[in-house]
Structure 1
Amino acid sequence: MFVEKKGGKQKMIDKGTLLQQITVEAAPASHPLGNTAPCIFFPEGEQEIVEILKYARQNRMRLIPMGGGTKRGFGGVEEMADAILSLSRCSGIIEHSPGDMIVTVRPGTTVQELQNCLAEYGQMLPLDPAWPAYATVGGIVAAGDSGPKRLRYGSARDHVIAMRVVYPDGTIIRTGAKVVKNVAGYDMNKLFIGSMGTLGIISELSFKLRPLPKAERLLLLSFSEGEMDAIRGFIRSLQDSRLEPVSLELISPTLAGRLGEKPEYMLAIAFEDVESAVRYQEAWVRSCAPEASLGRTLIGREAQMWWDAFACIPPYGLEENGVETRIAMKIGSKNTDVPDIIAVCHHLGQDRGVTVEAHGGAGHGISYIFFTGGTEEELASCADATRRLAQDRGGYAIVRHAPLSLRRRIGAWGEVPAHFPLLEGIKHTIDPDRILNPGRFIGGI
């Protein structure tokens, strides 16, 4: 096989196979986030993915699967692989059944593109990852991504009902079924969700959908530095009530200021339902929240625009050279620990002269911490302190985004879990030659 340049692009030429139809382009020589390669394959369908994987296995090529590229800084300590397998051209809706509320899509479809199409039918995919205009459905499933609204709607694990996956040897498997209720056998979908593309290439996904809410309101409550007890008390009262918020997100003062609000601790409480239910829940918050904390209420499109801005807060893998160094960390903890975690991280930034923006779900226990500025030494110190903070509370902390040099220093995943031999055994069984995303997952899998 060889590469022929034509019109600024390149074509893989290998007589007698589909490889001659696959576009190949040169990639930048290096990237500060690593996870790059000399060339990028652009398959446009499942059979082309099969041919690339077969060729890679025969020639012991290491491949990095990639969708929109927003998670380039997540995991891995190697700068270069042999090639990137881009799924950005494997996009579009394959099948949509509005009556059954099921959609089947190709992995390179962006979240925003899918949501726009579904909105025409009054439906939505209830996932709210960061950077939806660039993040692809295959990428968010492979990375196990989610957002603040997982409190009500759950994560990708709750909405993927079927997949087609291409194994490293080119074998195509199907998992799940295109029905909402499917209880037969093991749920193989969950094997691939969050596996970082280390077990196979997702070539097709089926999701169960939800109707678009008839009404939407977002209430923003602000609390001063010394009112952490009031925050905890109000959160407990709300959770003990019959209210069903889609988000109950606690936001640090620095991040609140960046979002154009008062630079104080802020609770973002969202309700999505029929108009009467939303109004009832809003009235409850207004009657039970400390009066001084009540801030803006955003309705409908205003609320959606606020969440759009919120989704663009995290760093992402499409940033170019010269952008200020940032680290993003994800903490999993008991939901009751979230106020303390957000407060401690905020003070950590003040003490060490590093900008810290943080938010956490007081209902689901997932927090995100973003460190900006400072030297690599200072950023690494903040990341280590954050990891200890989570572990001291029985939780975990992983690095969701960092330059390659920092990932090598602090590690993305933390300590190897007790069940690591099981993960390693699965990887060895499915990908014994380690051609897919080597070193990208827990323990260097």
Structure 2
Amino acid sequence: MVDLQRLEDALKRDGGQVQEAGPADAVDGVPAAAVARPASADGVAAVLREATAQGLVTVARGAATALDWGAPPERVDLILDTTGLDRLVEHGAGDLVVVAEAGLSVAELAETVLGAAQELVVDLPPERLAGGSTVGGALSTGASGPRRLQRGGIRDLVLGATVVLTDGTVASSGGKVVKNVAGYDLAKLLTGAYGTLGIVVRAAFRLHPARPDRAYVVVTGPPADVAARAREVVASQLAPAAVEIDRPAGSDVAEVAVLIEGTGRAVGQRAAAVAEVLGGRVQAAAPGWWAALPEGSTGSTGDRSPAGDGSPAGSGGTYAKATATLVGVAGLLAAAREAEQRYGAGVALRGSAAGVLHAVVTGTPEATASAVGHLRGAATDPRDGTVTVLRASRAVRAELDVWGQVGGLDLMRAIKQQLDPGRNLAPGRFVGGI
């Protein structure tokens, strides 16, 4: 039972708000009892301290663009809305560093630093950017995009973070902070942990100078051929900013697009050199599919869930993240076509030729589970590749383990036990029921 009055009292000095949850206040189909919206890190600490004292389960929420990723939490007593923490704390343009609160939208942050000809190279899918995806949400889901090939994912860009633990302790680690927690790099530890270890309230990031000129080199062909050419470009001295592959569901062809960034004539010269390697064409604009999540096969039937029930908007499919080695991408593409032919599912793949791809699988729950299993079989060891189901209907989840084989699970559980011994933060959302 949630004591709203005690939660309100905890936020009196903060100026935040507490209210009963409404019909829209759910996490992956699990309804909440209350929603708190603090306006400061101290407010987050106060409300978490009180929530834990009441034995409540708390789930953090930003713009909710990926709130149904991972697994549903065991229960939700309190949603902690971080959008009240939406300030740009510091932009050290000379040091290429920015510090922002967790509720600030990534799009707003990007627009601000672009004014200094700088950028945070996260490359969120357009769907999430348009939905207002926040700094905290991007960290929680371990976001990355096409340009991770050169710059890395958000985990590589975060310098430090201020985090509130379940007992209300405010802890910091990394750069641009005052108090450090010995033994843990909290910023990286919480990246991709889906809010199960602590709630990020502020983070510092490394920026890069914006590269004003771009060219794309595009070629289409059989998936194995496309993967081989893409691998050649990745391993070359041409320094591409991104090398992306798109294979629509049910297709016997794939497209590779290479992004060249820089300044002036050098961009065109390098693009021409890439075109020679690929045998492709140079164009000024990105392909229409660039950076977006793939779409499922519109011809598939089966497990299509209503909006809000765990299916990608407009796709009627199961969304997964697949990783592979540089040479393993070709095997993943081949496995997608084999799964379609064997199980009657649709498997769309899109992402980095260096081995981080997004998949949308369409079909019945049984066919979807079999197709995911076949994709996982493309790598014999988790170190060589994984397939993690991030968004799926309940019927699909009943047919498979959404996380698949994961190494280091005992260590992850030990960290959860140390940072959240009462399992008060989003229990069940992360791998192994963490």
Q: How does 1:321-400 map to 2 (within 5 A)?
A: 325-363=316-354, 365-372=355-362, 374-391=363-380, 394-400=384-390
Number of residue equivalences = 415
2:120 aligned to 118, 125, 133, which one? 125
In structure 1, distance between residues paired with 2:90 and 2:25: 39
Aligned to 1:112: 107
One-letter identity of the residue aligned with 2:130: A
- Pairing 1:298–2:279 present: no
Say whether the 8 Å CA contact 1:34–1:72 is kept in structure 2. no
Greater RCO, 1 or 2 (C-alpha within 8 Å, sep 6+)? 1
1:196-245 Cα deviation digits (max 9, x unpaired): 2111110001111011102111222111x3x72x3344234324431111
Aligned to 1:7: none
One-letter identity of the residue aligned with 2:396: L
| Structure 1 residues 314 and 390: CA distance shift in structure 2, 3 A | farther
Q: How does 1:226-237 map to 2 (within 5 A)?
A: 228=224, 230-237=225-232
- Pairing 1:47–2:32 present: no
Instruction: Report deviation, 1:330.
Output: 1.4
Aligned to 1:177: 175
Alignment TM-score, normalising by the size of structure 2 = 0.86
Aligned to 2:148: 150
1:110-163 Cα deviation digits (max 9, x unpaired): 211111111111111011122223321111112212112100110112111111
- Pairing 1:443–2:432 present: yes
Say whether the 8 Å CA contact 2:248–2:347 is kept in structure 1. no
In structure 1, distance between residues paired with 2:342 and 2:26: 31
Say whether the 8 Å CA contact 1:123–1:212 is kept in structure 2. yes
Say whether the 8 Å CA contact 1:329–1:401 is kept in structure 2. yes
Aligned to 2:199: 201
One-letter identity of the residue aligned with 2:118: Q
- Give SS of 1:325's match: coil
- Give SS of 1:14's match: helix
| Structure 1 residues 216 and 415: CA distance shift in structure 2, 3 A | same
- Pairing 1:82–2:77 present: yes
Say whether the 8 Å CA contact 1:336–1:362 is kept in structure 2. no
One-letter identity of the residue aligned with 1:406: V
Say whether the 8 Å CA contact 2:293–2:350 is kept in structure 1. no
In structure 2, distance between residues paired with 1:416 and 1:339: 22
- Pairing 1:406–2:396 present: yes
Instruction: Give percent identity, aligned residues only.
Output: 29
One-letter identity of the residue aligned with 1:328: Y
Aligned to 2:299: none
In structure 2, distance between residues paired with 1:188 and 1:275: 40
Say whether the 8 Å CA contact 1:63–1:81 is kept in structure 2. yes
In structure 1, distance between residues paired with 2:64 and 2:306: 6
Instruction: Report deviation, 1:42.
Output: 1.6
- CA RMSD, Structure 1 to Structure 2 (Å): 3.1
| Structure 1 residues 21 and 136: CA distance shift in structure 2, 3 A | closer
| Structure 1 residues 367 and 248: CA distance shift in structure 2, 3 A | same
- Pairing 1:311–2:305 present: no
One-letter identity of the residue aligned with 1:117: T
| Structure 1 residues 197 and 233: CA distance shift in structure 2, 3 A | closer
Alignment TM-score, normalising by the size of structure 1 = 0.84
Instruction: Report deviation, 1:335.
Output: 1.2
Instruction: Report deviation, 1:386.
Output: 2.0
Range with greater deviation from structure 2 (131-140 or 232-241)? 232-241
One-letter identity of the residue aligned with 1:244: A
- Pairing 1:248–2:235 present: no
In structure 1, distance between residues paired with 2:3 and 2:72: 29
Instruction: Report deviation, 1:408.
Output: 4.1
Say whether the 8 Å CA contact 1:164–1:172 is kept in structure 2. yes
- Give SS of 1:248's match: strand
Say whether the 8 Å CA contact 1:33–1:402 is kept in structure 2. no
Instruction: Report deviation, 1:434.
Output: 0.6
Range with greater deviation from structure 2 (192-201 or 382-391)? 382-391
| Structure 1 residues 103 and 122: CA distance shift in structure 2, 3 A | same
Say whether the 8 Å CA contact 2:7–2:51 is kept in structure 1. no
- For structure 1, the residue ranges without an aligned partner over 5 or more in a row are 5-10, 258-262
In structure 2, distance between residues paired with 1:32 and 1:39: 12
One-letter identity of the residue aligned with 1:97: G
| Structure 1 residues 401 and 390: CA distance shift in structure 2, 3 A | farther
| Structure 1 residues 381 and 29: CA distance shift in structure 2, 3 A | same
- For structure 2, the residue ranges without an aligned partner over 5 or more in a row are 297-304
